[in-house]
Amino acid sequence: MKLVVVAHGCSETTIALTRAAESLALPAVVLAPRDALRTVEPADVVLCRLGAGPLGIEPGLSELEQVAATGAVVLNPPAALVAAHDRHLTARLLRRAGLPHPRSWLLADGLPSPAPELPVALTPRFGRWSDDVRCETVDELGAALARLAPLAWFREHGVLARELADSDAARLQLVVAGRRVLTAAAPLLAQQLAVAAAAAVGADFATVDLVARGRSFAVTGLDPVPELAAPRDYRAALHELLVAAVARRPAA
């Protein structure tokens, strides 16, 4: 058995996870999707770390589907990557699971959609901007959409208009690995919500963004390619991911 991290390039977290595996005498390697397809064996554990930008998810989803068909345990499988990266789909899945999240509206050329309740923030359906575009009036919304209209990613995917959270509300970023939050200092309610949100999209390893809402929290987004900061987080994440992999492997 070996750990195969599927990614385009090696981030600090990707490298650290493989080193943590090797410290446990578990061989580990980082491979691009096509290389993983040629290398993965049924006994392996595969962790998928394909990122996304405004144009969509990085190439490799079809190869990952084929990797899953080999019998290897695949963590953050293709369906989970799509569900977490696509904010429109994320919102639908959170709503289906009964989890609190900001209301959102998909705005795109030729797509009938109810008018969003202003004010809203415009954010890409995939990937991230450095700052979302705040629109408080119909004129501001129209002008913002006119600026986006020539962009390829807008023509392909549209843009999300999202309900604004209170600017003074506390915000949290919690990393979920397996079914546990790595940051134990967070409020228990926030931890439970983060774990439930990851489960709702089928993610085994994700950063979950939360915003305070009254005495509770709402999920504002997930990133299935989390980056960790401390060595103990790498080891803890790897442990939880391996526990999840063992639980998922069919009994002999």
User: pLDDT tens digit string along 94-127?
Assistant: 999 999 999 999 998 776 667 789 999 999 999 9
- Whether residue 135 contacts residue 159, with contact meaning beta carbons closer than 8 Å, is answered with no
More confidently predicted of 250 and 147: 147
d(CA 203, CA 68): 15
- Each residue's pLDDT tens digit, 170-190: 999 999 999 999 976 899 999
For residue 119, cis peptide bond before it (omega within 30 degrees of 0): yes
Q: Tell me phi and psi for residue 34, to 5 degrees.
A: -65, -40
At 230 the pLDDT is: 82
Average pLDDT over residues 6-20: 94
Look-up of token digits 């390619």:
225
d(CA 145, CA 140): 9
| Class of residue 218 by CB neighbours under 10 A (exposed 0-12, middle 13-18, buried 19+) | buried
Average pLDDT over residues 123-136: 88
Chain length of the chain: 252
**In terms of DSSP H, where are the helices of the chain?**
12-23, 33-39, 61-68, 78-85, 87-96, 138-148, 152-157, 188-201, 231-248
- Computed over its alpha carbons, how large is the radius of gyration of the chain? 19
For residue 6, the Cα-to-chain-centroid distance in whole angstroms is 15
d(CA 190, CA 210): 8
> Cα(first)–Cα(last) distance of the chain, in Å?
15
Ordered by where they begin, the domains of the chain are 3-76 (3.40.50.10490), 104-163 (no CATH)
